[in-house]
Amino acid sequence: MSSLSTNTNRPSRLARILNSNMAYSFRRNPVAMVSMGVFLLIAIASIFAPLIAPFDPYDPANIDIMNSEFPPVWVDGAEAEFVFGTDDQGRDLWSTILYGTRLSLIIGLCAVGLQAFLGITIGLLAGYIGGRLDSLLMRLADIQLSFSTLMVAIIFLAITQAMFGSETFNQYAVYFLIAVIGIAEWPQYARTVRATVLAEKKKEYVDSARVLGFGPIRIMVRHILPNSLSPIFVISTVQVANAIISEASLSFLGLGMPPSQPSLGSLISSGFDYIFSGSWWITTIPGVVLIVLVLVINLLGDWMRDVLNPKLYKG
Amino acid sequence: MLAYLVKRVFQAIAVMFAISLVSFAIQDNLGDPLRELVGQSVSDEVRQQLRDELGLNDSFLQQYIRFIGNALQGDLGTSYFFKEPALDVIMKKLPATLELVFGATIIIIGLSVPLGVYTAIKPNAIASRIIMGASIIGISVPVFLTAIGMIFVFSVELRWLPSFGRGDIVHMWGPWSTNFATVDGWAHILMPSIALASIMLPLFVRLIRAEMMETLQSEYVKYAKAKGIHPFRIYFVHALKNTLLPVITVGGVQIGTMVAYTILTETVFQWPGMGFMFLEAVNRVDTPLIVAYLIVVGFIFVVTNTIVDLIYGLVNPTVNLARMGA
Amino acid sequence: MSLLSVRDLTVKFAMRDDTVTALNQISFDLAKGERLGIVGESGAGKSITGFSLMNLISKPGFIDNGQILFDGEDVAQMSDKALRDMRGNRMAMIFQDPMVTLNPVLTIGQQMVETLRAHRKLSKAEAAQIAIVKLREVYIPSPEERMDQYPHELSGGMRQRIIIAMALLLDPQLIIADEPTTALDVTIQADIMELLLELCQSNKVGLILITHDLGVVSQMTERTLVMYAGRIIEAGKTREIINDPQHPYTQGLINALPQQTLPGQKLKQIPGTMPSLTAIPRGCPFSPRCQYAVENCRNTLPEVVQYAGIEVACHEVKRLHNDRLEQSA
């Protein structure tokens, strides 16, 4: 009986949290509203990049080296065609930034999706099954956490690049980046989910669900998982911000997206050589976009942490 | 205490063993040592003979044991590019990186503790709001962008500070030359240190603030107030000591990240340290140097982590060092 | 002159949009060396009363109105410095849970010495000597060794003894003990209470004992306040309140004591629960749970009246008293 009632209450409780408390504090928090607005703007702009961008930066036919290093339109010597100027290869910077942001976002979101999938699965298993498996997985999580993600990623990508050569590497760079950032950070999720599982497992409704003959997977997914949603939300925002920074850092080092298919990080990297010669915009404008993107995600994460106030797993 | 120490050392050895396996696997598969030695224009017969002589046809295990044996004697192979023992190359670069890390650590510890404590004690003060606002911007700006931004402002536009290299360094001892002995050296290390500290510092300010605020809510802090203890002693003895425990743990985890950020910082400032060297070695497929870097970095990482664990055990009286060793 | 004189003390908590009244016009006195019990269910405002006597209410709570005259000075108006001089020195407090009261990273000795040195000009060695004497007074075995130990190395009972010793360090005039044994094993609760009583008597220290346990109050105190929903509803000599309680709530509390129940009988619980501070009913706050409540009780707040030597806030006190007399006759 108690399992039936919790079963029907559960989604509505979540809906109530999302509808009332969060919405209320969202309306009262101008920082959260502006951040959300800016994030949606960037997200929509990058989703529709092919429609918005005046040029296709991946199409060599569009690129003329003679157009290189035009400044943005508000600076002397600009071409009206190129709003934010052009980069060192003569690509329209505005279009390249749109496509680059799209790549950065895709890699960030997919990597975090992979982290969440691995982490939640492992966390549920460790918490639900417990015993030896639990201690083994958590020991693994400790070790994994003590290695810096960025360090592991740098070494892995550097070796991969050296082994396969730049050309093959560049072709699959997106997948390498998603995989390496995605695999390295699963313990964050696993620990939090495991903690919730351990707390929920003791509760009555889980017992009654078991007595009623529901399988472990159903119990975990339908009954236990919803209780870890708020910490998962909070972790995810921070992780997306971190993943975007990691991707940008790796691409900046030349271990990520190639200049022919630049993400924000590789765009900044290719512009870095030119800031001494005065072409500051190739680095600065994508740099600002990157900072704004990460900042609004972090601000949203901070706001969410304040509202949901989840018990996050601490070291 | 001794048992704990022994256990930590065993763990450290186990991790080093894993690192050595990975490193050897890389060495075994990356590049062709023969080509580096004799070039392309050698017949297959001579090639096979050389392979035998070099032991390249031995079993994986035999080769690995030889690799470990050499490594233990400090022989990590010879750099293809520098034509010098790889370890020597790294040792020459190590001081530059360590000084950079040292500078950044001083900035992080020196600022994060007072700022974190202040924002925790006075959460509603205007200064606290500014610090917290700045900290969220701080964690949102990647290290390499902070570095580029500083170069753009202070080197390109204002021309106040140099943008690359170590400048005037003074030779100290062995491979160690220091930046901290001349004004020019200080000028050169200032921006790289700030850049390296730029993302860790706000992270630690936020961490110390959060932990401190939690501690200030605790019963023992309220009890200390009820005993009439001066607020300064409550903040800096009662609360801070408890705050530092989780901070030390996180600090240990962040050491690896710090090493990763040295690669970024050194690249932007062309700082002649290990990180910059590592990327060059990767571009040149200088396998022995790559492998040596992995082992040296792994070693530094394991040693510092062990030290951090020991410090934690010493600071936290509830960690029974003897029992943890069992 | 009384040692402590509380007048119309009102404590509020600032909530998101408005304030909630946690203590409503509390008034009581305490003579030098007197022992007073404050009784009530959890949430009645007992602990808040204790903390406000030290002016130590955590945010978002604040003293809204009233006086707390301690030795002639108003605690509610004291400067931070004056408060610091008073706390732990002239007025000491014993907290509820000894497991979380002591700082886990400081030794017992450090925590005792710092208390002494906060109020007296003493060297560390002198302070340690005094601390050891006090530890001996609370029957801590080998106190010199305890000084170097950390709280986690000691049992809960031992820790509470140490906290009692700390309360006595500076020979205060008043000790406030907030449920000092609730967190301890039943077997050592009596020991600790006995120790506290013995020390208060021998040192002539005033005691305010906050508890939900009427049995403890009857053994430990001379006078008793009964609190309900942030108000004092009954006050008087402990013996009289225990023997002939006037307020229906106090009667309910006494009837609910296990000693009042014959074996095999059910415990006589008061029906319902205490209202939360955000939803205190109109009229007498106890009226929804009171079996004797009449229309008037639900509409107007009862004044405190003197009746049979007891101060009591109940409209129907006279009628109920007469009914009881008739029944027993």
Put simply, the answer to whether C95 touches B233 (Cβ < 8 Å) is no
> What CATH number does residue B211 fall under?
1.10.3720.10
**3-class secondary structure per residue, chain B:** CHHHHHHHHHHHHHHHHHHHHHHHHHHHHCCCHHHHHHCCCCCHHHHHHHHHHHCCCCCHHHHHHHHHHHHHCCCCCECCCCCCEHHHHHHHHHHHHHHHHHHHHHHHHHHHHHHHHHHHHCCCCHHHHHHHHHHHHHHHCCHHHHHHHHHHHHHHHCCCCCCCCCCCCEEEECCEEECCCCHHHHHHHHHHHHHHHCCHHHHHHHHHHHHHHHHHCCHHHHHHHHCCCCHHHHHHHHHHHHHHHHHHHHHHHHHHHHHHHHHHHHHHHCCCCHHHHHHHHHHCCCHHHHHHHHHHHHHHHHHHHHHHHHHHHHHCCCCCHHHHHC
How many residue pairs from chains A and B have C-beta atoms closer than 8 A?
105
B61-88 pLDDT, tens digit per residue, is 888 888 888 888 888 888 888 888 988 8
Q: How much is the pLDDT for B256? A: 77
Residue-range definition of the domain harbouring residue B174: 87-284
Q: How much is the pLDDT for A132? A: 86
Question: Is residue B28 over pLDDT 80?
Answer: no
C283-295 pLDDT, tens digit per residue, is 898 988 888 888 8
Put simply, the answer to whether A268 touches B140 (Cβ < 8 Å) is no
Cβ(B123)–Cβ(B303) below 8 Å:
no
- Interval A25-54 mean pLDDT: 86
Which chains does chain A touch, 3 or more C-beta pairs < 8 A?
Answer: B
Q: What are the phi and psi torsion angles at B231 (to 5°)?
A: -55, -35
pTM: 0.83
Residues of B in contact with C104 (CB under 8 A): 220, 242, 317-318
Residues of C in contact with B230 (CB under 8 A): 84, 118
The residue to which tokens 């995810």 are assigned: A236
List strands edge to edge, sheet with C4-14.
Answer: C19-30, C4-14, C61-70, C73-74
Question: Is residue B29 over pLDDT 80?
Answer: no
Question: Is residue A15 over pLDDT 80?
Answer: no
Cβ(C273)–Cβ(C286) below 8 Å:
no
Put simply, the answer to whether A150 touches B285 (Cβ < 8 Å) is no
The residue to which tokens 């980046």 are assigned: A177
| Rounded (10°) angle between helices A131-146 and A186-201 | 150
Residues 69-108 of chain C whose Cβ lies under 8 A from any Cβ of chain B: 83-89, 92-93, 95, 97, 100-107
Q: Could you tell me which of A115, A1, A32, A99 has the C-alpha nearest to residue A300?
A: A32
Put simply, the answer to whether B139 touches A249 (Cβ < 8 Å) is no
Put simply, the answer to whether C93 touches B223 (Cβ < 8 Å) is yes
Q: Could you tell me which of A191, A180, A196 has the C-alpha nearest to residue A140?
A: A191
Cβ(C9)–Cβ(C23) below 8 Å:
yes
Asked whether residue B169 is assigned to any structural domain, the reply reads yes
Asked whether residue B143 is assigned to any structural domain, the reply reads yes
Put simply, the answer to whether B222 touches C85 (Cβ < 8 Å) is no
Q: What is the DSSP letter of C289?
A: G
Burial of B56 (0-12, 13-18, 19+ CB in 10 A): middle
Q: Total domain count for chain B?
A: 1
> In chain A, what percentage of residues exceed pLDDT 90?
21
Q: How much is the pLDDT for B326? A: 32
**Within 10 A of A66 (CB to CB), how many other CB atoms are there?**
8
Put simply, the answer to whether A268 touches B253 (Cβ < 8 Å) is no
Q: Which of B133-142, B246-255, B280-289, C234-243 has the lowest mean pLDDT?
A: B246-255
Q: What are the phi and psi torsion angles at C222 (to 5°)?
A: -95, -35
Looking at the complex, does the CB of residue A34 fall below 8 Å from at least one CB of chain B?
no
Which of C86, C118, C152 comes nearest B229 by C-beta? C118
pLDDT band at A5 (very low <50, low <70, confident <90, very high): very low
Task: Classify strands C231-237 and C310-312 as parallel, antiparallel or unpaired.
Answer: antiparallel
Q: What is the mean pLDDT of chain B?
A: 84
- Which chain A residue has the Cα nearest residue B147? A272
Put simply, the answer to whether C101 touches B229 (Cβ < 8 Å) is no
Question: Is residue B153 over pLDDT 70?
Answer: yes
Q: How much is the pLDDT for B132? A: 92
- Interval C201-228 mean pLDDT: 91
How far apart CA C324 and CA A161 sit, in angstroms, is 94
Cβ(B178)–Cβ(B95) below 8 Å:
yes
User: C172 in helix, strand or coil?
Assistant: coil
Q: What is the DSSP letter of C280?
A: P
Q: Could you tell me which of B74, B72, B73, B77 has the C-alpha nearest to residue B54?
A: B77
Q: How much is the pLDDT for A312? A: 54
Q: How much is the pLDDT for A7? A: 43
Choose from B124, B227, B236, B315 for mutation: most chain C CBs within 10 A.
B227
For the ranges A230-239, B111-120, C53-62, C181-190, the maximum mean pLDDT occurs at: B111-120
Residues 154-213 of chain C whose Cβ lies under 8 A from any Cβ of chain B: 166
pLDDT band at A8 (very low <50, low <70, confident <90, very high): very low
Q: How much is the pLDDT for A296? A: 94
Task: Give the distance, in angstroms, between the CA of residue B199 and the centroid of all CA atoms in the same chain.
Answer: 14
